[in-house]
Amino acid sequence: MAREMTIWGVGRLILFSSLAWLGAAIALTRLFPGLFLMDFLPPFVFLVAGLFLLGVGVMLWIWSLSTLFDGFSQGRLLIDGPYAYMRHPLYSAFILFIFPGTGFIFSSWLVLTTGLFAFILFKIFIGREEDYLEQKFGRQYREYANMVRPLLPGAPYAKG
């Protein structure tokens, strides 16, 4: 029997560690702007790009969270909503959109590394969550995992 995992999976570990990295990166950028600011384009360009990424990320995060709450409370494998396109859309929202968007808003290459830092943590710790899901849902999860990429959106999962 699969050992129970909370609704947050390994997300708290990844998120809180990444937020600590983000805070340090913002502080260092403010202390040493000459080292970390990206100034090869006007700040407005970075701001617009950052706000766009942040907006997409927040929408994906909200969609993923509402789907997660519905599915988790029913004890079912999430294969619909954003989970039809990627196995871990909550992590995708932060790694691909929210953290990079924040980096652009701050015009800081150091802040931009937060997404990379979160991705590295994701690669280190996601196995625990995927092992749990495989133990809990068996063949259904293996089939789903073979058809849907972890972070990058792909063709929607065809429920069979």
Q: What CA dihedral angle connects 72, 78, 83 and 85, to 10 degrees? A: 180
Task: Quote the pTM value.
Answer: 0.90
Angle at 154 between CA 15 and CA 142, to 5 degrees: 75
The whole-angstrom separation of Cα 89 and Cα 74 is 19
Each residue's pLDDT tens digit, 14-23: 999 999 999 9
Each residue's pLDDT tens digit, 113-149: 999 999 999 999 999 999 999 999 999 999 999 999 9
Q: Which residues contact 67 (CB under 8 A, 6 or more apart)?
A: 78, 80, 81, 82, 83
